[in-house]
Homo-oligomer: A and B are copies of this chain.
Amino acid sequence: MGVFDTDGSEATGHEQVVFCQDRTSGLKAIIGIYSTALGPALGGTRFYPYESEEAALADVLKLSRGMAYKNSLAGLDLGGGKAVIWGDPVRDKSEALLRAYGRFVESLRGRYYTACDVGTYVPDMDVVSRETRYVTGRSVQNGGAGDSSVLTAWGVFQGMRAAAEHTWGSPSLSGRTVGIAGLGKVGKYLAGHLIGDGATVVATDVNPLALEWARTTHPEIQIVADTQTLIASDIDVYAPCALGGALNDDTVPVLRAKVVAGGANNQLAHPGIGKMLEDEGILYIPDYLLNAGGVIQVADEIQGFDFERAKLRATGIFDTTRRILQLAGDEGVPPAVAADRLAERRMAEVGRLRSIYLG
């Protein structure tokens, strides 16, 4: 797979792809910038032991494109980017490697802002920030915004409210039963919002500590044995909040919920699942729309983090979900397609405004 578009496919429509190497520290990184139409590209750095350079490239091309759509839909003045560091984070991560990476991020002079992703953590971003200004996801002590799962959960809750309004006429989840797969950080906060709104929460998690948290903090949460049991339960809304691929050929046929709205990434195991959900009459709210609270938070960090301002923007996921459901109805397409269209339109319509000269 190459970098350049040779067949008109949006999948290789990337503006810039930057290979960065520092042989002494062992750094091998690829920064993908899909689009800067809306502003500097923002997206995290994945540190992963890919099988090959080709696999690393394919991942950064896919992820950076996804960020362009996510940031556009989130209403941010940010383009889409992502970076991968090819290596084993446990074995290969070092101060020198992270700082070499930081120098390459700096070399792009703000066309790309980085953040945490799989294999990179807040302390890593603190190290990266010693070489570049263009980094978010730092520790609170170093100007960072802290745990982004608070706003991620808030955004998921807002999108779920819009889905409820669309499905049952009222945005309230009161009286509805919501099944949460995964009581990690996002799932926990989401459960709290739902219980506060009067919903019944059914949940599952493989981690005993998460179950212990539920028993002590929210004894009203009904715990079930596993995800299979959860999706076959009599739930109105299914909220995948754990690993990707929650919606697949096995789970969709047994799913009893009318709405799927969760915080997990890449919920659809393959593109055909979208159609399957539609055929089953299940309303699927695109994951990258719902879980944008995290990127909204790190984006706010660029301006100097203000929780209330970021929360206001994450609350906007309610309105965006409404607009997408409206557009989906108007254009006769699934919400996922409507979301892509809205993201693309914003990139085109707002991006072209720079042609109005301001000096």
Contacts and interface: CB of A to CB of B under 8 A. Distances in A.
Interface in A88-121: 104, 107-109, 111
Contacts of A14: 19, 21
Contacts of A53: 2-4, 6
A306 interface: no
A184 interface: no
A23 B20 CA distance: 23
A350 interface: no
A28 interface: yes
A2 B54 contact: yes
A83 to B, nearest CB: 13
A16 B5 contact: no
Interface residues of A, number: 26
Contacts of A104: 16
Contacts of A52: 2
A192 interface: no
B17 A19 contact: yes
Contacts of A86: 4
Interface string A1-41: 01111100000011111111111000010000000000000
Nearest to A3: B19
Contacts of A107: 16, 108-109, 111
A108 B5 CA distance: 22
Contacts of A111: 107
Contacts of A21: 3-5, 13-16
B6 A23 contact: no
Contacts of A15: 20-22
Nearest to A112: B107
Nearest to A52: B2
Given A2-B52, A14-B21, A16-B20, 16 more contacts: A3-B19, A3-B21, A4-B28, A4-B86, A5-B21, A6-B53, A13-B23, A15-B22, A16-B19, A16-B21, A17-B18, A18-B18, A18-B19, A107-B108, A107-B109, A109-B109
Interface of A: 2-6, 13-23, 28, 52-54, 86, 104, 107-109, 111
9 smallest CB-CB distances across A and B, nearest first, come from A2-B53, A17-B19, A3-B19, A4-B28, A109-B109, A18-B18, A16-B20, A4-B53, A107-B111
